[in-house]
């Protein structure tokens, strides 16, 4: 239990103090925000900061901080350090910067931000990649929610798929405050309550909490670096979050609220991940039993078993709702994000309902086709692509700070985690059997060489930016 208390205090410290250091990079604030100057009653709509934060939480969370944390817990308590430190210095920085950059640029989507600061040659590769990722997320999560609903009801798959996809279309086309703005705050509170109920059940039950250790306890002996850092994305750092932040950036009424909305939502997500990682290790007793349960029933099965085991009937209801609601509320905003990316790239007015309908319809055709595919192999690559995207976003933020801020030292706040993610993603690419499958030591050496090249490039850009400002 001390791990949870320490983690909560560390995350609170990160929010109260480190986030303020990051916030100084955006001072003085520039108001009014795009929500006030570009109101279109569809995507640009002023909303309160607490509602924006809960929407941001649901946008970025989904099942990520639950499933990813449970998978990461197979390495043992060392996963707690990645969740805590990764969030404070990496994930929350990533989310705050992606959201605030969008605010500063009129609510532009991620593809436009990357193109502006890393080069126009990335325009179409990033657009194609990100739209594909959004389609894959929507299709996979619609299918996973439908599968669970079929298993607990007598209705056929086609009924649930039609209902879920119809909801996706509605949440993509309707003004953000009409559907998402009304139900997401409720689901956000439910996600938090689910975690609170689980930790309360563990505390009151006859469970032995794990002791902190840096030892690699993975049953198969899988290296924790880089594998654990790829496995645990949501809850530590996730590139997918940057695709969602611009939606909320178009609804912020004051730039000073960005710290609570973006950095704060990531801290809450991290706390949820911390609770579920602790729950996995505590409920099953050790990493071997947890790994066996994950292999037997999957992440959804483990969530259900833990929730029912520690909270009884209440836990079973929360578990089922969570495993259904979370993927659906990620899939719908993924589709909305794809629509915005296409419109931003083509310079189409978001309030043009006809064009929005055509774009959404075209995306839905692809999503429907993808729901018939087996994504089990392709999804294995999603985690690496997701963390690679986080790396790109952090470099985009670094370029933004070097170009726009008088004090170039602020760029270290994003360059440091970007360099770390370079090491993570490149070493995984070289070592994982999904890619090149090289020896672990050789992979680390190659990653170090690429990291050194990235560091030299950053120092060159830093020096050039400082000379230009003088």
What phi, psi does 119 have (nearest 5°)? 125, 140
> What is the dihedral angle through the alpha carbons of 352, 356, 357, 361, rounded to the nearest 10 degrees?
160
Angle (CA) 433 438 444, round 5°: 115
pLDDT of amino acid 376: 64
pLDDT at 379 over 80: no
pLDDT of amino acid 406: 87
CA distances from 382 to 122, 148, 321, 365, 394 (A): 20, 22, 25, 21, 18
Asked whether residue 306 is assigned to any structural domain, the reply reads yes
**Three-state secondary-structure class, residue 253:** coil
Asked whether residue 289 is assigned to any structural domain, the reply reads yes
Q: Token pair for residue 62?
A: 């989904």
| CB-based contacts of 108, cutoff 8 Å, min separation 6 | 102, 116, 246, 344
Asked whether residue 54 is assigned to any structural domain, the reply reads yes
* Percentage of the residues of the chain whose pLDDT score is greater than 90: 73
Structural domains of the chain, count: 1
| Average pLDDT score over residue span 349-362 | 91
Task: Return the half-sphere exposure (C-beta side, CA atoms, 13 A cut-off) of residue 129.
Answer: 18
CA distances from 30 to 27, 109, 139, 161, 256 (A): 8, 19, 38, 44, 9
pLDDT in tens, 85-102: 999 999 999 999 999 999
pLDDT in tens, 126-179: 999 999 999 988 998 888 888 878 877 888 889 999 999 999 999 999 999 999
pLDDT of amino acid 82: 97
Per the CB < 8 A criterion, the answer to whether 387 and 86 are in contact is no
Residue span of the structural domain in which 166 resides: 2-377
pLDDT of amino acid 420: 98
Residue 90 DSSP label: I
Among the ranges given (213-217, 413-417, 465-469), the one the predictor scored with the smallest mean pLDDT: 465-469
pLDDT of amino acid 351: 81
pLDDT of amino acid 366: 94
Residue 439 and residue 205: Cα distance in Å, rounded? 44
pLDDT of amino acid 444: 98
Among 180, 141, 134, 187, CA closest to 160: 141
Asked whether residue 396 is assigned to any structural domain, the reply reads no
pLDDT at 32 over 80: yes
pLDDT of amino acid 377: 67
Which CATH number is 57's domain given? 1.20.1740.10
pLDDT in tens, 404-448: 998 999 999 999 999 999 999 999 999 999 999 999 999 999 999
pLDDT of amino acid 343: 94
pLDDT at 280 over 70: yes
Asked whether residue 277 is assigned to any structural domain, the reply reads yes
Residues in the chain: 470
Please spell the DSSP secondary structure of 336-394, one letter per residue. HHHHHHHHHHHT--TT-HHHHHHHHHHHHHHHHHHTTS--HHHHTTHHHHHHHHHHHHH
The answer to whether the bond into 32 is cis (omega within 30° of 0) is yes
Q: Provide the H-helix boundaries in 205-286.
A: 227-231, 240-249, 258, 264-284
pLDDT in tens, 320-337: 777 788 888 889 999 999
* Percentage of the residues of the chain whose pLDDT score is greater than 70: 99
Backbone angle region of 312, left / alpha / beta, with phi > 0 → left and psi within -120 to 50 → alpha: left
Asked whether residue 387 is assigned to any structural domain, the reply reads no
**Residue entry with tokens 């085991």:** 309
Which pTM value belongs to this model? 0.95
Residue 139 and residue 125: Cα distance in Å, rounded? 21
CB atoms within 10 A of CB 398: 26
| Average pLDDT score over residue span 188-199 | 86
Among the ranges given (69-78, 289-298, 389-398), the one the predictor scored with the smallest mean pLDDT: 289-298
Query: What's the per-residue H, E or C state across 95-142?
Result: HHHHHHHHHHCCCCCHHHHHHHHHCHHHHHHHHHHHHHHHHHHHHHHH
**Residue entry with tokens 């654990």:** 228
pLDDT of amino acid 329: 87
Asked whether residue 439 is assigned to any structural domain, the reply reads no
pLDDT at 39 over 90: yes
Asked whether residue 415 is assigned to any structural domain, the reply reads no
Residue 177 DSSP label: T
Cα 156–chain centre separation = 31
pLDDT of amino acid 71: 94
H or E stretch including 55? helix 49-61
Query: Average per-residue pLDDT in the chain?
Result: 92
């Amino acid at each position: 239990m001390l791990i949870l208390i320490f983690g909560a205090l560390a995350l609170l410290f990160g929010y109260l103090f480190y986030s303020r250091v990051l916030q100084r990079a955006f001072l003085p604030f520039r108001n009014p925000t795009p929500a006030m100057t570009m109101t279109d009653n569809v995507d640009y709509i002023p909303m309160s900061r607490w509602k924006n934060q809960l929407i941001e939480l649901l946008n970025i969370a989904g099942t990520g901080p639950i499933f990813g944390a449970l998978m990461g817990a197979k390495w043992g308590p060392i996963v707690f350090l990645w969740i805590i430190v990764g969030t404070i210095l990496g994930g929350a920085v990533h989310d705050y910067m992606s959201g605030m950059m969008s605010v500063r640029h009129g609510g532009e989507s991620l593809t436009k931000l990357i193109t502006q600061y890393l080069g126009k040659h990335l325009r179409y590769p990033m657009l194609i990649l990100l739209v594909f990722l959004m389609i894959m997320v929507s299709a996979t999560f619609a299918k996973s929610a439908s599968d669970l609903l079929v298993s607990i009801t007598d209705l056929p798959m086609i009924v649930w798929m039609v209902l879920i996809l119809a909801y996706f279309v509605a949440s993509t086309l309707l003004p953000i405050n009409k559907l998402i703005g009304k139900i997401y705050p409720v689901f956000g509170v439910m996600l938090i309550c689910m975690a609170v109920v689980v930790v309360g059940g563990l505390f009151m039950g006859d469970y032995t909490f794990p002791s902190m250790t840096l030892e690699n306890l993975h049953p198969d002996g899988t290296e924790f670096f880089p594998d654990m850092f790829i496995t645990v994305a949501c809850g530590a750092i996730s590139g997918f979050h940057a695709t969602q932040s611009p939606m909320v950036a178009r609804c912020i009424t004051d730039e000073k609220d960005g710290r609570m909305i973006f950095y704060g939502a990531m801290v809450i997500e991290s706390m949820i991940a911390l609770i579920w990682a602790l729950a996995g290790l505590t409920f099953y007793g050790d990493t071997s039993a947890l790994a066996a349960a994950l292999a037997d029933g999957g992440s959804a099965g483990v969530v259900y078993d833990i929730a029912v085991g520690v909270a009884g009937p209440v836990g079973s209801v929360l578990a089922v709702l969570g495993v259904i609601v979370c993927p659906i509320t990620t899939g719908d905003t993924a589709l909305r994000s794809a629509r915005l990316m296409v419109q931003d790239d083509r310079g189409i007015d978001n309030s043009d309902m006809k064009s929005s309908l055509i774009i959404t319809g075209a995306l839905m055709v692809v999503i429907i086709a993808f729901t018939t595919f087996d994504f089990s192999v392709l999804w294995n690559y999603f985690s690496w692509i997701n963390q690679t995207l986080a790396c790109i976003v952090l470099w985009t933020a670094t370029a933004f700070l070097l170009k726009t801020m008088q004090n170039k030292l602020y760029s270290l706040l994003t360059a440091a985690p970007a360099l770390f993610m370079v090491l993570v993603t490149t070493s995984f690419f070289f070592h994982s059997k999904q890619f090149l499958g090289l020896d672990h030591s050789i992979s680390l050496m190659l990653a170090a060489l690429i990291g050194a090249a990235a560091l030299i490039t950053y120092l060159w850009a830093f020096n050039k930016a400082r000379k230009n400002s003088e």
